[in-house]
Structure 1
Amino acid sequence: MLSVMRTGCRRTWRSLRRHSSSSQGYQQANVVVLPRRIADDFEDFCHSNPAPLPLLYRSQSGETSCEPLAKHADIRTDISEFCVYEDGRLVKTVSSLQSYSDPARTGSQLADMVTFYLGCSFGFEGRLEEAGVPVRNVEQGRNVSMFRTAVHCIPKGEFRCPLVVTMRPVPAGLLDAAVEVTHQNPRAHGAPVHVGDPALLGILDLTRPDYGDPVELRPGDVPVFWACGVTSIEAILSSKPPLAFSHSPGCMFLTDIPDAPSANTDPQLTPLCFLVTHNPLLYSLVSKATAGKIRQLERIIGDDPGQRGIAALFVQDELLRCCLALSHSSSVAIVTGFPTHHQHSPPDETDGPPGAIAMATMLLSLGKRVTLLTDHRAADMNRALVDEAVRTGVLKAAIPLVIFEDRGPDSAMHFLCHHGDPTKPRFDHLVAIERSGRAQDGNYYNMRGENIKHLVDPIDDLFLAAQNIPGVMTTGIGDGGNELGMGKVKEKVKQLMPKGDLVACDVAADCAVTAGVSNWAGYAVACGLYLLHTCPAHQRYLRRGLGLQLVTCDLQLQDWRRNLPSVQKEELFLGTLVRFGIRSGKTGNLAMEVDGLTFHPTHSQMISRLLEITLGSPGQNRPVSHD
């Protein structure tokens, strides 16, 4: 009966019948009534913001029925409470709109108004319960919590307003179930638009909702946010029409349409929910199909032709977590450089720079800011390598190259954050790829156990400082366990890798991505980012369900594909490294090889395999419209 009480239509046999059917799973609708003059703009506004405003039906001017949604309905009486707005101000609530259609009293204002029926999230609460997901607001006998956010809807005409969301606490172990159930109901707002810390939406206090009632989280619950039709009320307040009406929050219109899952839902497009970071708490969504492809990439780069035993360090889904975190990032700093050949000048190896440049160019293509960190000794060489990579088209555009110097205990914090303020970080992700990492004794070792500390700047301090800066994630990519970030798996390195007790890196990263050759992981990250940005479920989540379409234009898609790693580009850049005197890590050869493995066929075949998984058949990973 709570569903009946919540919707509140109580007056006629018709509304009572529709109330009882609502408890059996019938669609409910939010309602907005606007002057005909701005109706087209509002329809465009709905289409541009489909998650909060899934348009079920637009009436003709003065039409009080809605035959496609409910037979014999009368919008004037079939909602128990309406809000009345004048010039964008809520002036009163009324139990009926009949007086506004009486020519003798008002001149029949409704005759020149248009009614919009919008999907409502109350419709999926029953399905959540059927799936075993507790609906806390129902358990607590409360209306759902609704919040204005700091996210702006896509404006159209006179309509511009913040996104409003509902919040429902969901046990962490049931997040996938909640996501799947609601994804199957795009006409009721679809899958969540945010899972995790409310502050990331600009919501400061969950106990003080802007609409509805506060709902308590139970231990183990995660706050989950869905786009909300009350966004339409904010649209009325901002556009200030001389007269407008809406349902009162919690008093919806009940349709005759069963609240059934969409028949067109492809199971492979169903989103999965993955934890990205604890500080702040953030989960992300990605389709089953895309997650499966990134997992394939992760398995492929685990090949170990050099027989180094890298499989012992493998942690599943680290590549996926890294790619998701980078997808949510805006400013990324990448560091590489392993001076293993300390007897040569330069001492660096060919593993690392190609993977770093491959990640950088894809990040640039996706609109991220990218910075390259370097040792002071290698600054001129790396600047020249970046310039050459841009000149030859291997790197999309020039990127800043910076040096970190240890000038005291606060140096790392001041480098990472404006004025050393941890609430104002310059970067939100640090990536180390084949970067020599500090061992437990404070030294830096190559895999032969030789100390190369004199050639390495203390960039590890940045990764340690990042652990105390909310919102800054770190990734370490390695193929032996002595690389920066591999401290996350250091016990395995000590036990299972040659000289592990001595060489194991002691500095952990949030994500530790392992590969047979570190460059391969850099290529896989670039491919994974491409997959995420052509994944409808992930793109919808990134955009909070806002935007006219999720179909990527051909020019943008072509740019992303152009900036994927390729056999031609990677061979060209490896040739550049060799010309600069940079040698193969394992053998020290000044030749077209990485870690003792020749570019053809080993590395070229790896790149081809990664691209085959990434691109698949034409259009296979092309974004499609949702909602």
Structure 2
Amino acid sequence: MHQVHNLSHLSPAELRLLIRQNHPRIRTTTGLAHGYQQANVVVLPSHLADDFEDFCHCNSAPLPLLYRSQSGEPSCSPLAKNADVRTDIPEYCVYEEGRLVKTVSGLQSYNMVTFYLGCSFGFEGKLKEAGIPVRNVEQGRNVSMYRTAVSCVPRGAFCCPLVVTMRPVPAGLLDAAVEVTHQNPLAHGAPVHIGDPALLGIQDLSKPDYGDPVELQPGDVPVFWACGVTSIEAILSSKPSLAFSHSPGCMFLTDVPDSPTPESGLTPLCFQVTQNPQLYSLVSKAAVEKIRQLERVIGDDPGQRGIKALLVQDELLLSCLALSHASSVAITTGFPTNYMHSPPDETDGPPGAIAIATMLLSLGKQVTLLTDSRATEMNGALVDEAVRTGVLKAAIPLVTYEDHGPDSALHFLCHHGNPRKPRFDHLLAIERSGRAEDGNYYNMREVNIKHLVDPIDDLFIAARNIPGVTTTGIGDGGNELGMGKVKEKVKNLMPRGDVIACDVAADFAVTAGVSNWGGYAVACGLYLLNTCPAHQRYLRRGLGLQPLASDQQLQDWRTNLPSVQKEEAFLGTLQSFGIRSGKTGNLAMEVDGLTFHPTHSDMIHRLLEVTLEYDHTRFCKHV
């Protein structure tokens, strides 16, 4: 055998020849055949072939099907010339009745069907080209592979957990890693999870189920891609009398170059949503730009409060991402600024809260309305009327909170006070009176209205120490719950800010010219995320055959967006309950002294124009 000094520069055909000759330096194929696809291989009895092909199509991220052979066909001319799958893989696994019985360096002739599936080794070279370290190659190790708690979509005889690979990536290079791998959908595409492995059911990164442990370096984030070793789990679960596969890390090298680049507008960007647990999310560049447009639109300031000074870019986007990942959301509103009237509440807040709630319900989330005890009966009647008039999709429960001692907030937020069992994933306050530094609650005129406000702020404070619970505050003046995140700006830039500024921060502070507009923008942002293929693929871990949304589901989402008709009807309901404009105290069709027509109606039209102008649903392909 001739001496080979640098395997990394050899062509796939040259490497297959060396593998066929059992070259001692090729124990895995990681780092080899740069620029070409590598393939996982599964060999199954013919009677299971159709089921497995269907299983691959339903779970295309872990099992991107490159080629299905004829029964007994050892070659695969569409993928590689002069190849023989029985000899051209460094090591094979042999299974009997769903049990791994041995590994071998070659296979005998068989009358079975071979499946070639895309492999993440195909993009490792591209990562290196982009300046992204490939830690497993640097450390001379096979990639780490883990069995997750996520179930693949079952088909026929096949039902198994998703398997993922993990590659550590420096935090500053996450966008680059996502973009590079997104461009290669036949090698599993973009990551299916970034951050805390426990969110996938992986308890210990140092103990992979397949491959070798790979060490993270300071500043690295664990990034997980769907893995073709899922096919091995499929073999183990279906228990065929005889089956074969590649040995994990020992791939079939094809002559097929890397995939072409998809449309750049659909390239995902990576955003950190939470730190505890560490969770990143993906969303396309096109959707990000649309949500940023929404953020700019709601920054209009017809009341001349100077609200643009409080804007922090992407707070709307991050809040929408957190809500998209949540399953149970508690919404609170209520600013009793009209303290000399009964009821003292204002028309800003409830419309935005109901707009968010109805979109969340449309997306299948659990929604709870958290209200002051003094306003429970009124808010229950408002919810009932909103459902009756079609403004709210369905009834939602109302709850109140009272401070009964040091652990009250924890017991309210978590089952049995256990921070590992929160009742809600997200708390959202919109135009909710917030506690100032001195413990009081002030309206914009610096009047203390503490006697009308329950201590719901305590829940936002307690949520900081409960892993997995995120918070949003929506406001238009700086004295609203959650605006503590921009407290210093409020103090320095807003009228009476040194007194009225809310001291309680939310994870995300969404500012708007009128708080209701922030609520409408959140509803629109959620629609954009749920019609974004990159985001939906990430939420679903790349699993599922169905389009991102059926026509009926899309119509339901659109129906549950804010509309001029619905918002005008609900404002009329508020007026009928005696709820007044906050700035003027008028019992009229106005919010913050601004009449519904044309100010608020025009805002709704503008938000809908941004939301529906570029509809991601035309890109909603199978994932």
Normalised TM-score (structure 1): 0.95
> SS at the partner of 2:50?
helix
Q: Which of 419, 429, 434 is matched with 1:432 structurally?
A: 429
Give deviations 1:74-101, integer Å, cap 9, x for gaps: 1111112110000000001111112xx2
Cα drift, residue 2 of structure 1 = 6.8
Say which is worse superposed, 67-76 or 371-380, in terms of deviation. Answer: 67-76
> Is 1:95–2:105 an aligned residue pair?
yes
* Aligned residue runs from structure 1 range 453-602, under 5 A: 453-602=450-599
Residue of structure 1 in register with 2:409 after alignment: 412
Residue of structure 2 in register with 1:35 after alignment: 45
Gaps of at least 5 residues in structure 1 are: 102-109
Q: Which of 27, 51, 63 is matched with 2:73 structurally?
A: 63
Residue of structure 1 in register with 2:61 after alignment: 51
Cα drift, residue 312 of structure 1 = 0.8
> SS at the partner of 1:10?
helix
Given that 1:552 and 1:622 are in contact with CA atoms closer than 8 Å, whether structure 2 keeps it comes out as no
* Aligned residue runs from structure 1 range 368-383, under 5 A: 368-383=365-380
Residue of structure 2 in register with 1:181 after alignment: 180
Residue of structure 1 in register with 2:3 after alignment: none
> SS at the partner of 1:389?
helix
Residue of structure 2 in register with 1:104 after alignment: none
Cα drift, residue 234 of structure 1 = 0.3
Residue of structure 2 in register with 1:106 after alignment: none
Report the AA paired with residue 101 of structure 2.
V
Residue of structure 2 in register with 1:197 after alignment: 196
Residue of structure 2 in register with 1:10 after alignment: 18
Residue of structure 2 in register with 1:239 after alignment: 238
Separation of aligned partners in 2, 1:72 and 1:248:
22
Cα drift, residue 606 of structure 1 = 0.3
Q: 1:66 to 1:542 in 2, by over 3 A?
A: same
Given that 1:530 and 1:560 are in contact with CA atoms closer than 8 Å, whether structure 2 keeps it comes out as yes
Cα drift, residue 73 of structure 1 = 1.1
Q: Which of 615, 620, 624 is matched with 2:620 structurally?
A: 624
Given that 1:550 and 1:623 are in contact with CA atoms closer than 8 Å, whether structure 2 keeps it comes out as no
Cα drift, residue 20 of structure 1 = 12
* Aligned residue runs from structure 1 range 251-290, under 5 A: 251-259=250-258, 261-263=259-261, 265-290=262-287
* Aligned residue runs from structure 1 range 298-313, under 5 A: 298-313=295-310
Residue of structure 2 in register with 1:153 after alignment: 152
Given that 1:551 and 1:622 are in contact with CA atoms closer than 8 Å, whether structure 2 keeps it comes out as no
Separation of aligned partners in 1, 2:622 and 2:66:
14
Q: Which of 391, 398, 402 is matched with 1:401 structurally?
A: 398
Give deviations 1:262-299, integer Å, cap 9, x for gaps: 24x11000000001010100000000000000000000
> SS at the partner of 1:256?
strand
Separation of aligned partners in 2, 1:622 and 1:195:
27
Q: 1:430 to 1:24 in 2, by over 3 A?
A: closer
Given that 1:9 and 1:251 are in contact with CA atoms closer than 8 Å, whether structure 2 keeps it comes out as no
Separation of aligned partners in 2, 1:36 and 1:457:
67
Cα drift, residue 22 of structure 1 = 4.5
Given that 1:487 and 1:505 are in contact with CA atoms closer than 8 Å, whether structure 2 keeps it comes out as yes
Given that 1:351 and 1:519 are in contact with CA atoms closer than 8 Å, whether structure 2 keeps it comes out as yes
Cα drift, residue 9 of structure 1 = 7.0
Cα drift, residue 258 of structure 1 = 1.6
Give deviations 1:153-182, integer Å, cap 9, x for gaps: 000011000000000000000000000000
Cα drift, residue 551 of structure 1 = 3.5
Give deviations 1:510-540, integer Å, cap 9, x for gaps: 0000000000000000000000000000000
Given that 1:9 and 1:19 are in contact with CA atoms closer than 8 Å, whether structure 2 keeps it comes out as no
> SS at the partner of 2:126?
helix
> Is 1:84–2:84 an aligned residue pair?
no
Separation of aligned partners in 1, 2:250 and 2:619:
36
Given that 2:545 and 2:622 are in contact with CA atoms closer than 8 Å, whether structure 1 keeps it comes out as no
> SS at the partner of 2:95?
strand
Q: 1:373 to 1:83 in 2, by over 3 A?
A: same
Given that 2:191 and 2:224 are in contact with CA atoms closer than 8 Å, whether structure 1 keeps it comes out as yes
The sequence identity of aligned pairs, in percent, is 80
Q: Which of 322, 325, 329 is matched with 1:332 structurally?
A: 329
Separation of aligned partners in 2, 1:289 and 1:465:
36
Separation of aligned partners in 1, 2:395 and 2:284:
33
Given that 2:31 and 2:137 are in contact with CA atoms closer than 8 Å, whether structure 1 keeps it comes out as no
Cα drift, residue 257 of structure 1 = 1.1
Separation of aligned partners in 1, 2:30 and 2:156:
39
> SS at the partner of 2:225?
strand
> SS at the partner of 2:18?
coil
Aligned length: 613
Given that 1:8 and 1:80 are in contact with CA atoms closer than 8 Å, whether structure 2 keeps it comes out as no
Report the AA paired with residue 412 of structure 1.
A
Report the AA paired with residue 96 of structure 1.
G
Report the AA paired with residue 74 of structure 2.
T
> Is 1:320–2:317 an aligned residue pair?
yes
Separation of aligned partners in 2, 1:165 and 1:3:
25
Cα drift, residue 11 of structure 1 = 4.2
Separation of aligned partners in 1, 2:8 and 2:98:
30
Q: 1:592 to 1:339 in 2, by over 3 A?
A: same
Report the AA paired with residue 590 of structure 1.
L
Separation of aligned partners in 1, 2:17 and 2:561:
56
Cα drift, residue 621 of structure 1 = 3.7
> SS at the partner of 2:301?
coil
Separation of aligned partners in 1, 2:247 and 2:94:
9
Separation of aligned partners in 1, 2:165 and 2:8:
17
> SS at the partner of 1:358?
helix
Q: 1:147 to 1:295 in 2, by over 3 A?
A: same
Given that 2:283 and 2:529 are in contact with CA atoms closer than 8 Å, whether structure 1 keeps it comes out as yes
Cα drift, residue 24 of structure 1 = 3.8
Q: 1:280 to 1:128 in 2, by over 3 A?
A: same
Separation of aligned partners in 2, 1:20 and 1:338:
60
Give deviations 1:432-489, integer Å, cap 9, x for gaps: 0000000000000000000000000000000000011000000000000000000000
Say which is worse superposed, 19-28 or 316-325, in terms of deviation. Answer: 19-28
RMSD, aligned α-carbons = 1.9
Normalised TM-score (structure 2): 0.96
Residue of structure 1 in register with 2:137 after alignment: 138
Given that 1:8 and 1:251 are in contact with CA atoms closer than 8 Å, whether structure 2 keeps it comes out as no
Give deviations 1:102-136, integer Å, cap 9, x for gaps: xxxxxxxx21x100000000010000000011101
Given that 2:99 and 2:236 are in contact with CA atoms closer than 8 Å, whether structure 1 keeps it comes out as yes
Residue of structure 1 in register with 2:209 after alignment: 210
